[in-house]
Amino acid sequence: MIKRVAVVDIGSNSVRLLISELIEKKNYKILIDEKDTIRLGREVFEKGVFGSSSIRRIKRTLEKFKKIMDDYEVDHVRVVATAAFREAANAVEVKNFISKETGIKNIEIISGKEEGRLIFLGVISNFDLKDKQALIVDIGGGSCELVIGDTDKISYNESLNLGGTRLTKFFLKSNPVKSYELEMLENHLDSVFKRIKLAAKKHDFDMIIGTGGSLNNFTKIIHALDKSNGKNDMFREVELNDVEKLCEDIASKTFRQRLKLPGLDKKRVDIILAAGLVIKKVMKFYGKNAFTSLSKGLKDGLMIDTINRLGIIFPYQHDSELLKEHRIWEIGHRYNFEEKHAENVTELSIRLFEQLKDDFGFDERWHEYLMAAAMLHDIGYYISHSAHHKHSQYLIENSDLIGYDEREKDIIAQIARYHRKSLPKKTHQGYQNLNNGDKEIVNKLASVLRIADAMDRSHLETIHDFRVSIKDNELIIKVNAPESDLFFEIEGVSKKGDMFTWVFDKKVVLKGIK
Amino acid sequence: MSAIAAIDLGANSIRMTIAEKKEDKLKILDKMEYPLRLGKETFLKRYISPEALKETINILKVFRRKLVEYAVKRYRAVATSAIRAIDNQDFFLEQVRLKTGINIEIIEKSEEERLVYLGLALEIKDFKDIVDQGVTFAKVGSGNVEFSMLKTNEVFFSRSIPIGGLRLRENLKKVSEEHFKDAMEKYVHSDIKMLKQSMPKIKTKNFFASGSLVKVLRQIISPSGKAIPRKKLEQFYKELKTMTIGQLAEKYDLANEYADLLLPTTEVYINFLELTGCDKIECINVSFTGCILNQMAGFFKSGFMTKQIWKSAISIGDKYHFDKPHALRVSELSVKIFDQLKPIHNLSIKHRYLLKLAALWHDIGIFIKNSEHHKHSYYLISNIEMPGLSSQDVQIIATVARYHRRSMPKKYHLEYTSLGNKARVVVSKLAAILRLADALDRSHKQLVQDINIDIEDNEIIINVKFNEGGWLEKIHFDKKKNLFSRVFGINIELIERLK
Amino acid sequence: MNKKEIFENRQLSWLAFNERVLEEAEDKKNPLLERLKFLAIFSSNLDEFFMIRVANLRILIEEGIEEADNSGYTPKEQVERITDNLSGLISRQYAGWDKVCSEIEQHGIYFKSLSEINQDLKDHLGKLFDQEIFPAITPMAVDPTHPFPFIYTNTLNILCAIDQGGDEEHFAIVPVPGILPRFYIIEWQGEKYFFLIEEIIIEFLAKLFPGHNINDQYPFRITRNADLEVDEEGASDLLKELEDRLKERRKGSPVRLEINRKFQDRHLEKFKEEFEITDDMIFNVDGPVDLTFGFALFGELAGIIPGASDPEHTPYYYKIDDVFSLLKRQDVFLHHPYDSFQTVIDMLEQAANDPNVLAIKMTLYRTTGDKSKVVKQLLKAIENGKQVTTLVELKARFDEERNIEWAKKLEENGIHVVYGVKGLKTHSKVLLIVRREEDGTIKRYMQFGTGNYNEKTAGLYTDVSLMTSDDDLAFDISAFFNYLTGYSILPDWRKIAVSPNGIRDKLLQLIDNEIQVHSKAGRGEIMAKMNALVEPGLIEKLYEASKAGVKITLIIRGICCLRAGVKGLSENIRVVSIVGSFLEHSRIFYFRNAGDEMVYMSSADWMPRNLFKRVELMIPIEKDDLKKQAINILKYNVDDNVKARKLLDKKYTHVETPKSKKKIFNAQDAFIKDRKKMDKKQELVSKSHLLEPMTQPEAEF
C-alpha cells in the first residue's frame, strides 16, 4: 500500500521536493518540504540550452533529493519539470542524463497549461472559491501561468513567458535598475497583455489570486512594512497602491539596499522586482484593486494530482461545494474530535445564531466563523484535557482552513478559545491583537458557542427543538422537552451563559416546556 | 536512625505519617488525617481564604507537636493540587512557615504521580507480572480522577480528569438534590466519552484503586474481601441512588465528608471499570505520605522510573505520528555526543535525560504543520503532562526541541527568556547538541554507525562512521554547527572515518 | 413476645440495684459503720437518679412524649413505677437509719433532739450557734417586695412562716450554710451527742428574726434537673461554654422535694405553686433529710468506734524498678484495689523523669483534686521538657467544675490540654508514653484501665489495668489520641475497638463468632463482667446466643435489662450481681472461641450511652498468663456465695451462703487473701535479693 508520496518540481528558479504521508486515504501530511534555488532559467533563457554548470547543479540537487526520498522510503515518486526544460534545446538529453546519473526515472516535462492546471488544483484545495471566479496568477522563474476558473472547472488557461528570472535576465540587468530598463519591461508587459486581454476578458472573474515564491515574498515585504507582522501566513490580501509603492521602492534601491527590506528573501533580491511588476500589470489590466497572495501552488497541486492518479480522491474533491467543511472535518479527524458532539454543537450554535441575528445584529458572514469554531472547539482535547480550549485555539491558528483568510482564522480560533473557562481579559494576547470590530465578533459568537456547548454538555444530544425569546433582561431558550430531563442543561446554560450576559447584559435561562 | 515524617496538604484533608526505618521496611508509628477541604476553595476561587489558612495553621501546629513528640528530625511537607494552582500561594506558604515553622514545598503533579507510582511498585506484590498483564491504576480523588493504564512495563496512557467527587459536587451544586444523581451521571458520562476518544482501546486485566473513598466503598461493599466486584458496585450504586446523603451517613455510619462524595465516586468507578473492561476493583493502600517516606528512607530504586518515562515518551511520539527510527536515532546520537562532550559541557545526568527526550520529540510538531514545525513541537511538548517530569523539565525539553532548527535562541524569544539564566544556558547547550545529532540523521536513514569525538585545544573533531553515503548529513552538519560553536566557544568539525 | 417480656426496664432494674445496696445496709453481718456508709450510698445514688433519670423522664412527660422505651414503658408509666417502688425503699432506708443510730448509741454517742437535752447543753449549743453558725446564715425574706429566692439543687434550707404580730404571715428562707458541717458531735459531761445543724438552727431561729413570730418551720431540700446538654456544635470555646452552663445548672426545674415533717396545707399550697411541684414529687421522710452525711459521719466515727468498719485495706504493691525494660519483655496486668494503683503512678513517675521519654499522653476523666499524684507527675514531666498532652473530660458528670479548674491549671503549666471530641464524652482511660530507645528507635508504652486516674476511687473500686508496649496497640492508641486531640479521621484499628459504635460492632461480631464456633465445635461460652447491661441490640444478640446453646455468664453489678434464665429466651444465661465493700467496676469480656480464648477489657458498659455517645476503648488481653488472671477474676465473681445475688427473670435472689465455713467464698476477700500470699512470696524474693554478692567500686580503694 502506498503510504509516502514524493513530488519534485524542477522550476526555472528552484527545485522543490515535497514528501507527504497519506493518512487513511482522507488526508495527507507533509513530511518534507525541501527547496534548492539553482536558477536553471538564467542560462536557458539566455542561451537556450543547459550549460554544464546548470546540469551539474540539477544533478547535485536531484541526487540529494533522491537520497532524501530513499531515506523516507517513499513509495511513489513523480518528477515534473517546467519552463526551463520546456525551452532548453538539450532538455531531453539532459533529462536522460540526469535519470541515468541519479536513478530518477520519468521526469515529466509538463506544458504551461498543465502547469496552470496543477496550480489551479493546488489553489482550490486550499482556498474556498465557493461561488467565485478567480484569476490565478502564478509567477515562476520562467513562466507566468494565468488560469481562470471556479471550483468546478477551468475556463481559461494561459502560460506566458513572464517568469521572474526570465524577465530580470532580459530587462533588469543593472543594479540598481535603470529607468529605461523599467520602461522597456513595462512596454513588454503591455504588449503581452494586450495580446491576451481579449481572450481573458470574456471570462469575468471576481478576484485575483497570486502564487509563486517571488510573489509570496513580495507580499510578505508589504505586510512586514505594514505591520511588522512576521507570521507565516498562508494567504494575504494586498492592495494595488501598496504594490505600486513597493515596486517603486525596490526599483530605486541597489541589491544591497534591498536586503534591508524586512522579510525579503535574499535569494530573490534580484528577481523580486520583476514579480512585483508583473502582478501590478495584471491588476491594472483587469481593473482590480487588490489581489490575494496564496502560498500554495504548483507543488501542492502536483501532490494532489499525483495522489489522485494513484486512485485516491480526497473527500472534498467529490463535492467542491463543501470544500470548506471538508477541510474542517479533516482537521477534526486529525485531532480525533468527537464528531457527534461537534456536529451537535454546531447545529445548536447555528440555530441560536439564526434566531438571534436580527435582535443582536449578527452579520450573515459570521455564520461561517461560528460554524468553523463550533466544529473545532474541542480539538485541543487531543493535546490535553486541561486548557484544551487554548490548545484548540493554537491548533486552529496553525491549521490550513480553506475559505477563511488569516484574520478570519484568528477570529475563529478566538471563538473556540472562549468556548469555556475565562472570559476575555487584558492579559489574553491573542484576543488583544484583534481590532475592536473583530473583538466584538468574537465576543458575540463565543457567547453563542458557549450556550450551545452547555446545551450539549452531556454530549447526549438531549436538545433538538428550541425557541428563543427575549424578555426584559433575559434571553429565554424554551426547549421542547420536560424540564425534569433538562436540569443538567439548565444548570449548564445558567453557568455558561455568563459570556452572553457579559456581552449583551442579558441573563440566559433555559426552560423546558412540556 | 530516628523517626521521619511526611506531611501532605491535599485537597480534602491534611495528613501526616511518622515512621521509622526498620531493616528494609517502614514501620509506621503514627498517622493523622484531618479533613480540611482546601480544594473546595481553590478549585473554584484559586485562592485560599484567611479562614482556611488559619485552620491549616492550627492543624500544622498539632503536627508540629507530633514531630517533637517523636523527636523527628527529618520531615518533608508537601502540598499538591489544592495549593498548586492558587494565586496567593507565596503568601500562604510564608504564613504557614512563620506560624508553624513548617516548610511546605509544592509538589508538581508529575512528581506526585511518579512517587505514587513508585509507591505502587513497592506495595504491590508481583508488580511486574501484573503490569505485564495490563493494569489500570485509578484514584478518584476529591478534585480529580487520576488514571493510568500500564501494560508490559510501560505507562501508555495517563490522564487526570476533573471529575473528582468534590469537584462534581461543587460544579453541580446548583442542581437540586433530586436531580443531582441524574445530572452527575450525565456529567461523568460525557467526560468519560471524551476520554474514550483519546485513549487507546486496550483492556487491562487488573484494576487497582487507592484513596480513602475507595477504602470506604470497600468497607461497605465487601468488608471481608480486598476487592470490590463490579456487580456488587453496580448494585450498591442502585441503592445509593435511592438514598439521601443523610440516610447514607446514617446507614453506613459515615462522616458527611464521605457520604456526599460516595455517589459520584461510585459512578466514576463504574465507568472506569467499563472503560478498562475489568470486573473488579482491587483496593490498595498507597498513601502519598507513605510514598514520600519510602523515598526519604531510600526504598525507591533509582532509575526505575526513567524507563517508564521513556516508554510513555515513545507513545506520545506515536500519538503525533513521529518518524520513530529517526527520533530514536537522533536521541541516541544526542546522548552519545553529550557523553563524549562531558569535559566541556558541565551538565548533569538529568540534563542528559532531558536532551534524550527533546531529541525524541523534536519533530512531533510536524503533526500540526510542517512549516515552523519546531515551534509546534515546542507547543506540543510544553503541554505534555507526564509522571516524572516536572513542568520545569518539560519547559526545558520543549525549548531545546524548539531550537533544533532555524533561528538560534534570541533575547526576544519569550519562551527562551522566560526560562531564567541557568536554564537558558542549559537549553542552548542541549539545543546545540541536538542540532548536531539531527544533522547526523538528516537523511532519516540512520546511516551513522558510530561517532567518536576528539576534544582538541582549538576545535572539536567528531569522527563519524557511516554505513553508506552520508553526504547529506555532512552538508547539514556544516549548516547546523553554528549554534554549537557559539555556545561552546569552540569550533566543531565532522570528519568521516573510512568504513 | 412484646417488649416488656424481652427487656427489663432500666429504671426499675436500677432501683433493684439500689435495693441491693440497701440490703447491704440492712445486713447485720456487715460492720455497723459499713452499713451507715451503704445508707449514704443509697442516698447519693438516689440523688443522682433523680437529677438525671427522673428529671429526664419528667422532661419527656412535659414534652408530651408518650412513646414507650425499649422495655415497653411510657415515661409516665416509668415515673409512676419509680414513685411506687421508692416509697417502700425510703421507709426501709430510714428504718435502717434508726437501727444504725440505736446501735451507735450503744457505743456512747447519743442522738437526741434538742427538746430532750438539758438547758446547759442547750446553752452550749446556743454559744456554738452564735459563734459559728449565725455569722454564716443569711435569711431571705419572701414578701411582695422580695420574691421567692432561688433555691439551689440539693441544698438544705429551712422554710419559715413568720409574722410581725397581727401582720400578714409571710415566708422566709434560711439556707443551711454548706460551708459548715452538717452535724456536730458534742462532748458533754463525758458523753457524746450528735446534733444535726438544721436542728440547732431551728432551735435558735428567733435570733434570726427579732420582733417576729415564727409560726412554723420546715427543713427541705429540692432536687433539680441536672442533666447538662451543652450545645457543643455552636460553642467556640467549650471551656467557657461549660462554665456558663454550670451557673445555669442549678436553675434546672425541680424534680423532687424532700421534707421531714408535714407542711401545713396553706404553706404547702404556696410552696407547690412557687416551685411548680406536683404531689408525686414530694417525699416526706421519717428522719433527717439527705442522709449523704453518712459518709462524713463514717469518717468521724471510724476513729471513735473501733472495729465497726472493715479493716483498712493495704493493697499489694507491685514495685517495678524499671518499668520500660520490664514492659519491653512482658506485659503487666493489675487488679485494683487489690493491686496498688501506685504501680501505675510509678510508671508515670518514671516516664516523667526518664530523659529518653519524649511525650506523655493521658486521659483524665475524674481525678482527685490538686493533690493528685497523677497531676504532680505530669507537671514534673513538663519541667523535664516532655511533651505532655491530657484529655480532660469536662463533661464528667458532677465533676465539671473541678475539671474546669484543673484544665486551667494544667494549661497554665504548659500541659497541652484538649477537651475531647465534640458531642461525645471521653470515658476511656489510657496512658501513652513515647520513648526514644537507646538505639534511636521509638517505643511506646501504655497503660489501659477500666477505672479513672483517681487514687481515691482506685482504692475503693475494683478495676483492672493493663501495661504493655505492644507495637500494634501503640499504633492504635497514637491514632486514638489523634482522634481525641482533634478530628483526625479514624484509621482501621489494628487491635482495639473504639466507641462510638466500634465496640458494639466488635461485640456483636464476637458473639456471632461464638455462636458459629459453638455450632461447629460446641462448648460455646461467654463471660462478661460489667456495671450495666442496657443496650437492646446486644441483649438480643445474647438471647440469640443462648438459644443457640452458648453458655453465658454475666456479672453485672447494676442495671441489667436482660431477663435471665427465661425459658425459650435465655435459659443459658445466668446473671450474677455483687454488691461488696468495694464497688465492682471492672469490665472484662471473655469468649471461649473453641479454646483459643479471647479476653477483652473495656472502659465501656453495655449501655447505649457508652456504646454510642462516648469515646470508649476495648482492648484485647493477649498474653496467656494475663488472660488467665483476667479469667480468674470472672471465675471468682461467679463463685462468690456471700455477696452474690442471682437474677432469675427480673428478680434478684441472694445466693444461699453455705453453712460450712470452708465452703464460704467471698470473692473480694479471696482477692485480698491471694495478695497476702503474694506478699510472702515477694518477701522471699526481696530476701533473695540480699544474697546477691556486692562488689565494691574500685575507685574507693
Coil, strand or helix at C681: helix
Across the interface, whether the CB atoms of B370 and A32 are under 8 A apart is answered: yes
Half-sphere CA count of A37, side-chain side, radius 13 A: 11
CATH 1.10.3210.10 assigned to domain B306-496? The reply is yes
With 0.80 as the threshold, say if the pTM is over it. no
Q: Give the pLDDT band (50/70/90) at residue C233.
A: very low
C254 CB-side CA count, 13 A:
24
Q: Are the Cβ atoms of B194 and A494 closer than 8 angstroms?
A: no
Q: Which residue of B has its CA nearest to A22?
A: B321
Taking the C-alpha atoms of residue B390 and residue B386, their distance in angstroms, rounded to an integer, is: 8
State the residue for C-alpha cell 471461649. C592
Domain B4-107 has CATH 3.30.420.40: yes
Complex ipTM > 0.85: no
User: Which residues of chain C does B71 touch, with a Cβ-Cβ cutoff of 8 Å?
Assistant: 358, 436, 442
- Residue C481, classed as helix, strand or coil, is helix
User: How close is the nearest chain A Cα to the Cα of B366, in Å?
Assistant: 7
CA separation for the pair B269, B229 (Å, rounded): 11
Residues C522, B493: Cα–Cα separation, whole Å: 92
Q: Does pLDDT of C700 surpass 60?
A: no
C133 Cα distance to chain centroid: 32
Decide if B28 touches C, using CB distance below 8 A: yes
Average pLDDT, chain C: 86
A295: DSSP letter = S
The predicted pLDDT at position C399 comes to 61
Q: Which of chain B's residues have a Cβ under 8 Å away from the Cβ of C434?
A: 69-70
- Closest alpha carbon to B84 in B53, B54, B46: B46
Nearest to C490 by CA among C471, C475, C507, C508: C475
Beta bridge partners of B227: B282
Inter-chain residue contact B32 with C488, CB threshold 8 Å = yes
Do the strands C183-188 and C573-578 form a parallel or antiparallel pair, or are they unpaired? unpaired
Q: Which of B321, B383, B475 sits opposite A383 (nearest CB)?
A: B383
* Mean pLDDT confidence for C76-81: 91
Please give the CATH topology (third level) of the domain spanning B125-283. Nucleotidyltransferase; domain 5 (3.30.420)
Residues of chain A with CATH 3.30.420.40: 4-110
CB-CB under 8 Å, A378 with B194: yes
Mean pLDDT of C631-653: 91
B250 touches chain C (CB under 8 A): no
Average pLDDT, integer, range C442-467: 89
Q: Which residues in chain A have Cβ-Cβ distances shorter than 8 Å to B194?
A: 338, 378, 381, 385, 459
Sequence-distant (6+) residues with CB within 8 A of A194 are none
Choose the mutation target among C441, C472, C493 for the interface with B, i.e. most B CBs under 10 Å: C441
Superfamily of domain A321-459: Hypothetical protein af1432 (1.10.3210.10)
How many CA atoms are closer than 13 Å to the CA of C251, on its beta-carbon side? Answer: 6
The angle subtended at Cα A220 by Cα A214 and Cα A223, nearest 5°, is 150
List Cβ neighbours of B274 (8 Å cut-off, separation of 6 or more). Answer: none
CA-based nearest residue to A352, from A423, A475, A452: A452
Check CB contact under 8 Å for C441 and B32: no
Residues in A closer than 8 angstroms to B367, CB to CB, are: 29, 334
Using 70 as the pLDDT threshold, list the residues of chain B that sit under it: 1, 44, 153-156, 257, 302-305, 498-499
Rounded Cα distance between A376 and A345, Å, is 10
Is C427 one of the catalytic residues?
Answer: yes
Domains B125-283 and B306-496 in one fold: no
Does C422 have pLDDT greater than 80?
Answer: no
CA distance B32 to chain C (A): 6
CA of B314, closest CA in chain A: separation in Å?
15
- Which residues lie closer than 8 Å to B158 by C-beta, 6 or more apart? B113, B147, B148, B149, B312, B385, B386, B387
pLDDT greater than 60 at residue C237: no
Q: For B1, which residue in chain C has the nearest alpha carbon?
A: C440
Q: Do C387 and B69 touch (CB under 8 A)?
A: yes
Does the beta-carbon distance from B183 to A488 stay under 8 Å?
yes
Residue C554 has pLDDT above 50, yes or no: yes
> What is residue C500's predicted lDDT score, i.e. its pLDDT?
86
Residue from B63, B69, B283 whose CB has the most chain C CBs within 10 Å, to mutate: B69
Query: What average pLDDT does the segment C633-651 reach?
Result: 91
Written in H, E and C, the secondary structure of chain B is CCCEEEEEECCCEEEEEEEEEECCEEEEEEEEEEECCHHHHHHHHCCCCHHHHHHHHHHHHHHHHHHHHCCCCEEEEEECHHHHCCCCHHHHHHHHHHHHCCCEEECCHHHHHHHHHHHHHHHCCCHHHHHHHCEEEEEECCCCEEEEEECCCCEEEEEEECCCHHHHHHHCCCCCHHHHHHHHHHHHHHHHHHHHHHCCCCCCCEEEECCHHHHHHHHHHCCCCCEEEHHHHHHHHHHHHCCCHHHHHHHHCCCHHHHHHHHHHHHHHHHHHHHHCCCEEEECCCCHHHHHHHHHCCCCCCCHHHHHHHHHHHHHHHHCCCCHHHHHHHHHHHHHHHHHCHHHHCCCHHHHHHHHHHHHHCCHHHHCCCCCHHHHHHHHHHCCCCCCCCHHHHHHHHHHHHCCCCCCCCCCCHHHHCCCHHHHHHHHHHHHHHHHHHHCCCCCCCCEEEEEEEECCCEEEEEEEECCCCHHHHHHHHHHCHHHHHHHCCEEEEEEECC
pLDDT in tens, chain A (514 residues): 678 999 999 988 889 999 998 877 777 888 888 888 888 888 888 888 898 888 989 999 999 999 888 888 888 899 999 888 988 888 888 888 888 888 888 888 888 888 888 898 888 888 877 778 889 999 988 889 988 888 777 888 888 888 898 888 888 888 888 888 888 888 888 888 877 765 666 677 888 999 988 898 998 888 877 654 444 456 678 889 999 999 999 999 998 899 888 888 888 888 999 999 999 999 988 888 989 888 888 888 899 888 887 877 777 665 554 567 777 887 888 888 888 889 899 999 999 999 999 989 899 889 889 999 999 999 998 888 888 999 999 999 988 777 777 788 899 999 999 999 899 998 898 899 899 999 999 999 999 999 999 998 777 777 888 899 998 899 999 998 887 778 778 888 988 999 999 999 999 999 888 6
Measured CA to CA, the distance from residue C225 to residue A53 in angstroms comes to 118
- Distance (Å, whole) CA B406 – CA C469: 70
What's the confidence (pLDDT) of residue C165?
76
Contact B255 C485 (CB under 8 A): no
pLDDT band at C406, cuts 50/70/90?
confident
Q: Distance between CA B17 and CA B10 in Å, rounded?
A: 13
- Name the residue type at position C137: I
Q: Which residues of B touch A23 (CB under 8 A)?
A: 321
Q: Quote the pLDDT of residue A22.
A: 85
Measured between beta carbons, the chain A residues lying within 8 angstroms of B412 are none
Closest residue in chain B to residue C474, using alpha carbons only: B29
The C-alpha of A186 sits at a distance from chain B's nearest C-alpha, in angstroms, of 36
The nearest CA of chain B is from the CA of A72 a distance in Å of 6
Q: What is the pLDDT of residue B277?
A: 87
Query: Band of the pLDDT at C695, cuts 50, 70, 90?
Result: very low
Q: What is the pLDDT of residue C245?
A: 56
Q: What per-residue confidence (pLDDT) applies to C683?
A: 54
CA distance A383 to chain B (A): 7
Q: Rounded to whole angstroms, how far apart are CA atoms A485 and B236?
A: 24
Instruction: Report the top-level CATH class of A127-295.
Output: alpha beta
Distance CA C638, CA B276 (A): 61
Q: Is B469 on the interface with A (CB under 8 A)?
A: yes
A–C contact (≥3 CB pairs within 8 Å)?
no
Minimal Cβ distance to B443: which of A23, A67, A338: A67
pLDDT at C236 over 50: no
Q: Quickly state the pLDDT bin for C682 (edges 50, 70, 90).
A: low
Residues of chain A with CATH 1.10.3210.10: 321-459
Q: What is the pLDDT of residue B200?
A: 72
Minimal Cα distance from B441: which residue of A? A71
Domain boundaries, chain B: 4-107, 125-283, 306-496
Beta carbons of A29 and B183 less than 8 Å apart: no
| Residue B204 near residue B278 (C-beta atoms within 8 A) | yes
Q: Pick from C509, C513, C485: which is nearest to C497 by CA?
A: C509
Question: Which residues of chain C lie closer than 8 angstroms to B20, CB-CB?
Answer: 441-442
Return the residue of B nearest to A459 by Cα: B190
Answer yes or no: are the C-beta atoms of C596 and C575 closer than 8 Å: no
All residues of chain C having their beta carbon less than 8 Å from the beta carbon of residue B29 are: 442, 444, 474-475, 478
- Quick one: closest CA in C to B223, which residue? C492
Instruction: Give B 281-340 residues with CB within 8 A of chain A.
Output: 321, 323
Residues in chain C: 701
The architecture (CATH level 2) of A4-110 comes to 2-Layer Sandwich (3.30)
Could you tell me which of B146, B134, B114, B120 has the C-alpha nearest to residue B268?
Answer: B146
**Residues C440, B34: C-beta atoms closer than 8 Å:** no
Name the catalytic one among C427, C585, C654, C689: C427
Tell me the per-residue pLDDT of C123-155, one tens digit each, with 9 for 90 and over: 999 999 999 899 888 888 887 777 778 888 888
How do residues C508-540 score in pLDDT, each as one tens digit?
A: 999 999 999 999 988 999 999 999 999 999 999
